[in-house]
Chains A and B, each alone.
Chain A
Amino acid sequence: MNQNLVALFTGVLFSIGLGLSQMVDRDRVLGFLDVAGTWDPTLLFVLGGAVSVTVIAFRFVLRRSQPIFANEFRLPTRRDIDRPLILGAVIFGIGWGISGYCPGPGITALVLGVWNPVLFLGAFIVGSLAHRWYQSRTAGLAESDRPKDTVR
């Protein structure tokens, strides 16, 4: 229960941060991405502010042997720069540039009572399901295509 209350509170804080920094307004995000137009640098300050905090605070947090309400830190372990990472980031970047929403602001914008975020999140879920299907399909192919007796 403690973990759920923390999640509720951090969700509130995260969303207020998105509101205050006006990242919920997709035109402001697009204004940042539009470097050839009337450039709006706000997003740079938002990311800068957020990362300044995490870069310093994460160091102290990760010095602990375990989190306060959980048994272990669940951190990503991969360090390789592979093709899916780059290709995925490119596809996400194109989608972000077209819509002006990334997942966080897309969710917070639901409270504005307009259709844009609803359509965005619906399509987001379809896209992530499509990736799951794609992954299971390519994983199957990789298994059967792999030559069984080649030694290099």
Chain B
Amino acid sequence: MLSICETQCITRPNASASTESVCKLLLSLLVFSGLIALAFLHVGAWMVLPFAGLELVLVVLAFVVVLRHSGDYEKITFVQDQVEIEQSVLGEIKHVRFLCYWTRITLREGENGKTSLWIGSHHQEVEFGRGTMDNAQREQVASHLKRILLKTK
């Protein structure tokens, strides 16, 4: 998800699932698979149960991994002659500031055709929107930032 305005760019992971809807989903899977496994246990085919259990653990883990990151965001803000990059991962917030004059925006072809967007100055570079944007959005953000930076010079 990406929102852009004149002084700010924010990107965050699409997080369309509410905790509640995920809980409902997991519960229904648990009941559904659980009932099936128990029914087969009842007729002596107990080996279905461990597989069903293992699989449900995997499903839960997958959702945990993804939902933990739903509060993450990355933000670029222009404050006077500086550009500030703020990145929040799992609640931990990091900031970097560069002087607009020296800031360079670089789009690189990364692995497997994915591009990566880097914001840097001198020997420091920060990657922006790695997992939350697609190539087109990275391109869009890059040209937007370049335009604003040009104005500050």
Q: Do these two chains interact?
A: no
Residues of B within 8 A of A (CB): none
